[in-house]
Amino acid sequence: MSDAADILRLGETLEGRCLCGAVRITLTGAEKQIDVCHCSMCAQWGGAMYAGLESESAQVEGEDAITTYQSSDWAERAFCSQCGSNLWYRFKPTGNRTFLAGLFDLPKGFGIKQQIFVDEKPDWYDLAQESPMKSGEEIVAEAIAAGFSFD
Ligand SMILES: [Zn+2]
Ligand SMILES: [Zn+2]
């Protein structure tokens, strides 16, 4: 895990919205790195890899249009009930939430934080950027070392 001081954050707030605009999201202190997950659940959810953005805080408007789905004992995924845009992935043990990078008009200069569940990545694509690659086993081991349990 990287030191908090090492994380590059965006100075300005980021405004995002779903396709229909019923849900609006404002991120403060967004990391300038995208978290990529290649697991089979993310692919089923969104068509291919998940690209998530983490921030210090998030303000979400349009709660009435949001449906959350418990995709496992430890995770929740949310989408707009009107247009179907996926919105976020929340890791319940920490409450940490990442938002779909595609909801935001990102300025240039973002990088990839890490690619996880690389062992589940389909073989029809690869990301060319250099970035840390971790298997599902490595990610689960990291989480367990940090004190989480998946039982
Ligand atoms: Zn919508
Ligand atoms: Zn995933």
Q: How confident is the model over 75-121, as pLDDT tens digits?
A: 999 999 999 999 999 999 889 999 999 999 999 999 999 999 999 99
The rounded Å distance from CA 14 to ligand 2 centre is 23
The rounded Å distance from CA 87 to ligand 1 centre is 9
C-alpha span between 92 and 94 (Å, rounded): 5
C-alpha span between 121 and 99 (Å, rounded): 20
Beta strands in the chain (DSSP E): 14-17, 24-37, 50-61, 66-72, 75-80, 86-91, 96-100, 111-116, 133-134
The rounded Å distance from CA 84 to ligand 1 centre is 6
**Percent of the chain, pLDDT > 90?**
85
Average pLDDT over residues 15-30: 97
Q: What is the pLDDT of residue 4?
A: 52
The rounded Å distance from CA 94 to ligand 2 centre is 16
C-alpha span between 91 and 149 (Å, rounded): 12
The rounded Å distance from CA 68 to ligand 1 centre is 13
With 0-12 CB in 10 A as exposed, 13-18 as middle and 19+ as buried, what is 60? middle
The rounded Å distance from CA 50 to ligand 2 centre is 6
Q: pLDDT confidence of 5, banded at 50, 70, 90?
A: low
The rounded Å distance from CA 83 to ligand 1 centre is 4
Question: Domain residues of the chain, as ranges?
Answer: 8-145
Q: What is the pLDDT of residue 1?
A: 46
The topology under which CATH files domain 8-145 is: 2.170.150
The rounded Å distance from CA 78 to ligand 2 centre is 14
C-alpha span between 22 and 104 (Å, rounded): 14
Q: What is the pLDDT of residue 150?
A: 75
Q: What is the pLDDT of residue 135?
A: 97
